[in-house]
Chains A and B, each alone.
Chain A
Amino acid sequence: MGSTARWRMLAVSGAALMTASTVAACGSDDGMQINVYYAPEENFQSVIDRCNEEANGRYEIVYRKLPRDADGQREQMVRRLAAGDTDLDILGLDVTWVPEFAEAKWLEEWTGQDKQQAEQDVLEGPLTTAEWNGKLYAATKNTNVQLLWYDDTVTPTPPKTWREMIDMAKQLKGEGKPYQVLFTGAQYEGLVVTYNTLVASYGGKILSDDGKSVVMDAGAVDALKLLKEVSSSGITDPSLTNAQEQQVQQGFESPDSKAAFELNWPYVYAAMQDGNPDRAKNFKWARYPGIDGPGRVTIGGYNLAVSAYSEHKPESFEAALCLRSAESQRYSAINDGVPPTIESVYAGDDKEFVEAYPMWETIVEELQDAAVRPLTVVYQNLSTITSKVLSPPQDIDPESTAAELRDQLQKALESKGVLP
């Protein structure tokens, strides 16, 4: 019996069932519904409620929560879009998915006044992630950058470069103080983010600007050397190859933590206040370390796009603009800790914002010269292969690892290779 054939039939009928049930759900309501497929975000419903009030009954935005993990989110949307599902109106896309979705003709281009509004006052880095082939395919909802988090009782002055950080960690270890450098080293997207930041900090490139060919220049090789050095000189957590964001965060929070430095997203600030209030008092942040100065940090975050299969496109554009307006972004920043993409929201005289978001200045600084992950249609393949080839980081052999990456990534770009 063809196991896969059976499995695919199952998948198809499952999808059909799901569609059927949602269609039925839609049919039973009066009025127009705009379905927003977005990752779980605690207070996003309040943003939607406010936009529904603004819509004044013309349509109702409904929050359809996607799975928590990025792969799950992408898979659900991809599967349904490939089947031409008209239930999806607004899509919450991770910044790395825009080229792929746009190229597959699943996204409606932003034009005219909508485009103007979606671009207005948006920081340059995040805006790049919403574009593909010179066209705008999404509106930025929130951005994200990792910061260096440290304990100012251990290191009163934070390191500015990786070299300083490595030396400090070694010295601290010798003195018997907390010393570990924690970062995401598991075989997943987080490792790619770390590597991409290192490559950008060296001024290197993984792919060419048009995303069509592999570059892997000297900077990319130097980044491999650094990654190997950090991972193999005994200054990280022993379970580095299992460390995702959460493990990194817990590694710093735990009462018997040996960590001195943590490279992680801003959400850890709020988490620390709950997780370890004692250490939270000394929990400080600085710019992500680089090579000669501060690093060029990889941008994360989400964009909102309108599905090409949506039956309510004009309303969807309008709703998306409301969901990511300056007011909404400010609200989400304060309540959900996600950094805005609109520059004017970062206002030093906005007391409530500054209080909830004390690290806003550092974030803006980092965003000014942030690094975007390679923009390519096959980002998923690129990411899977990169994290696979770089794992485990302590076993990297710079020259041969670089050669392997070059070879595998080129195949991935031509969609010829096989995914591991």
Chain B
Amino acid sequence: MSELANEPSTRSQTVESGPAVAAPPPRKGKAALSEGKKAERKLGLLLCAPAAIVMLAVTGWPIIYSVWLSLQRYDLRFPDQREFVWFENYAAVLSDGYWWTAFGVTAGLTVVSVVIELVLGMLLALAMHRTLVGRGLIRTVSLIPYGIVTVVAAFSWFYAWDSNTGYLSALFNAESPLTDRFSALAIIILAEVWKTTPFMALLLMAGLALVPDDLLKAASMDGATAWQRFTKVMLPVMKPAILVALLFRTLDAFRIFDNIFVLTKGANDTSSVSMQTYNNLIKGLNLGIGSTMSVLIFIAVAIIAFIFIKLFGASAPGNDPGGKR
């Protein structure tokens, strides 16, 4: 039983390391497989198949289905008017002011919050890395915000900034900061940063662990200042870890939904693209337009990922697994 369960993982090893084990060394390839190996391989594929099919069904199919829906005029309230309209929905969304406002807000939120998170996360990571006493305690404490459910945290921010009940709005003598666009956006960023900086710090700390002490000692022997050691030694070594952290957070931040949903419900032009998709899809029951928006978000996220990987080139995840979590 356990042998069977292990089969898929051992299979790949056997295939890849097959030549090495089975002696005829330089000849890579399938020709070398014996009957037994072939059967084993077939069994392996069969055992993998259910997982692969499930994966395809739960990720591939919805993506294809939403692309299909996005090419149709399909509003649940007008079931009789369903028709195929090619790219009309895309034209409608991309020529719409609301969409671009939301897109701008989302992009702005993403950039600002990720930059702040990177800086704070780096400081926090350095602090956690360096602490000598109570290391475990400090790490645990700093991770608490990340452990709190976003909606719960968002509600505490909401009440804290509410003009009737809020201690923060009383402290800053703000009338009702959540009703003004810029203060509302600032609060959303604050909530995001507070929540996800620990995550950033955690990923960066993994990168810090990669920096060999000897390297730092050698650098300081050569007369490098603390700042030089940070920028010339630590950052280059940490690059893969930074990339992973940035990529994860940027993709996450771009899909921001819960904080905005609780804090402003998108009032005063604070809606994000995900909020707007939700409004069109779930509230508006317009499957065509809603799916168009989700496809557009998907494309945007893909572009972000692509840019990151291009930008960081060889240190992209996959090329250097050492930097990953």
Contacts and interface: CB of A to CB of B under 8 A. Distances in A.
A247 interface: yes
B14 interface: no
B142 interface: no
A100 B289 CA distance: 18
Contact of A238 (B92, B175, B285, B301): B175
A79 interface: yes
Given A82-B285, A100-B77, A419-B98, 13 more contacts: A1-B59, A3-B255, A3-B274, A11-B282, A78-B76, A82-B76, A104-B285, A239-B176, A415-B77, A417-B92, A418-B96, A420-B266, A420-B271
A241 B269 CA distance: 13
B297 interface: yes
A239 B179 contact: yes
Interface in B293-308: 293-295, 297-298, 301
B283 A380 contact: yes
Contacts of B251: 3
A371 B93 CA distance: 34
B69 to A, nearest CB: 10
Interface in A338-384: 377-378, 380-381, 384
Contact of A419 (B101, B163, B179, B284): B284
B187 to A, nearest CB: 13
Contacts of A6: 59, 62
Nearest to B99: A418
B192 to A, nearest CB: 16
Contacts of B284: 380-381, 384, 415, 419
A239 B163 contact: yes
A420 B59 contact: no
A121 B228 CA distance: 86
22 contacts: A2-B66, A3-B251, A4-B297, A5-B63, A5-B66, A5-B298, A6-B59, A74-B283, A75-B282, A75-B283, A186-B267, A241-B179, A247-B164, A415-B78, A416-B92, A418-B98, A418-B289, A418-B293, A419-B98, A419-B283, A420-B102, A420-B271
Contacts of A8: 62, 66, 294
A9 interface: yes
A242 B179 contact: yes
Is chain B's interface secondary structure helix, strand, loop, or mixed overall?
Answer: helix
A8 B297 CA distance: 14
A71 interface: yes
Nearest to A99: B77
A133 to B, nearest CB: 14
A308 to B, nearest CB: 13
Contacts of B77: 100, 103-104, 377-378, 415
Interface size class of A (residues with CB under 8 A): 35 or more
Contacts of A5: 59, 62-63, 66, 294, 298
B277 interface: yes
A384 B66 contact: no
A381 B276 CA distance: 12
Contacts of B99: 418
A250 interface: yes
A377 B75 CA distance: 11
Interface centre among B99, B271, B280 (most CB of A within 10 A): B280
B261 to A, nearest CB: 11
Contacts of B179: 186, 239, 241-242
Closest 10 CB pairs of A and B: A4-B294, A5-B62, A415-B75, A242-B179, A420-B98, A418-B96, A187-B267, A239-B176, A242-B176, A2-B63
B150 interface: no
A242 B163 contact: yes
A238 B297 CA distance: 37
Given A241-B179, A250-B164, A420-B98, A2 B283 contact: no
A388 B178 CA distance: 16
A273 B149 CA distance: 38
Contact of A2 (B79, B101, B265, B294): B294
Nearest to A379: B77
A381 B98 CA distance: 14
B268 interface: yes
A78 B75 CA distance: 13
B56 to A, nearest CB: 12
Interface in A1-43: 1-6, 8-9, 11
A392 B179 CA distance: 10
A420 B255 contact: no
Contacts of A378: 77
Contacts of B101: 420
B58 interface: yes
A391 interface: yes
A71 B278 CA distance: 12
Nearest to A12: B62
Contact of A384 (B78, B102, B283): B283
B156 interface: no
Contact of B285 (A4, A78, A241): A78
A230 B289 CA distance: 37
Interface in B68-96: 75-79, 92-93, 96
A135 interface: no
A74 B179 CA distance: 25
Given A71-B283, A242-B176, A417 B96 contact: yes
B267 A419 contact: no
Contacts of B93: 418
A11 B62 CA distance: 12
Nearest to B288: A415
A304 B295 CA distance: 38
